């Protein structure tokens, strides 16, 4: 579990390295434990992680989120779906369970 902004950045930077090495088409991220993202975390994700991810091989990115409205609002504020696909060239969808996320990922 990520407990600090530094650990979050380190974990996401490592994820980008793995994506660069293995070149996956699909990414499934369980973000249920990230419901306390601060403004600095959101800014770093928006300005560093997402642009790097957009240059990767990933074409579908599924997020598993808590079903509560506050968490969804925080994560959705990072970038709307339409803006996401226009700027980053991959599809992003959010789900509350793993099965639904995997169904979407593997649907052509």
The span from the CA of 73 to the CA of 25, in Å, is 27
Nearest CA to 94 among 86, 48, 23, 84?
84
Does the pTM surpass 0.75? The reply is yes
Per-residue pLDDT of the chain (108 residues; tens, 9 = 90+): 666 889 999 999 999 999 999 999 999 999 887 757 788 888 898 889 988 998 999 999 998 988 776 656 666 666 555 465 666 678 888 899 999 999 999 996
Which domain, by its residues, includes 76? 5-105
- The string of DSSP letters for 57-74 reads S--EEEEE--SSHHHHHH
What is the number of domains present in the chain? 1
CATH number at residue 87: 3.90.190
Question: Tokens for 70?
Answer: 């506050």
């Amino acid at each position: 579990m990520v407990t600090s902004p530094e650990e979050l950045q380190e974990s996401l930077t490592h994820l980008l390295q793995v994506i660069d090495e293995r070149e996956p088409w699909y990414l499934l991220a369980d973000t249920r434990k990230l419901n306390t993202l601060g403004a600095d975390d959101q800014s770093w994700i928006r300005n560093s992680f997402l642009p790097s991810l957009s240059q990767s091989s990933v074409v579908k990115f599924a997020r598993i989120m808590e079903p509560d409205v506050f968490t969804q609002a925080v994560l959705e504020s990072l970038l709307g779906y339409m803006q996401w696909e226009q700027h980053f060239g991959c599809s992003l969808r959010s789900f509350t369970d793993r099965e639904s996320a995997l169904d979407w990922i593997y649907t052509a």
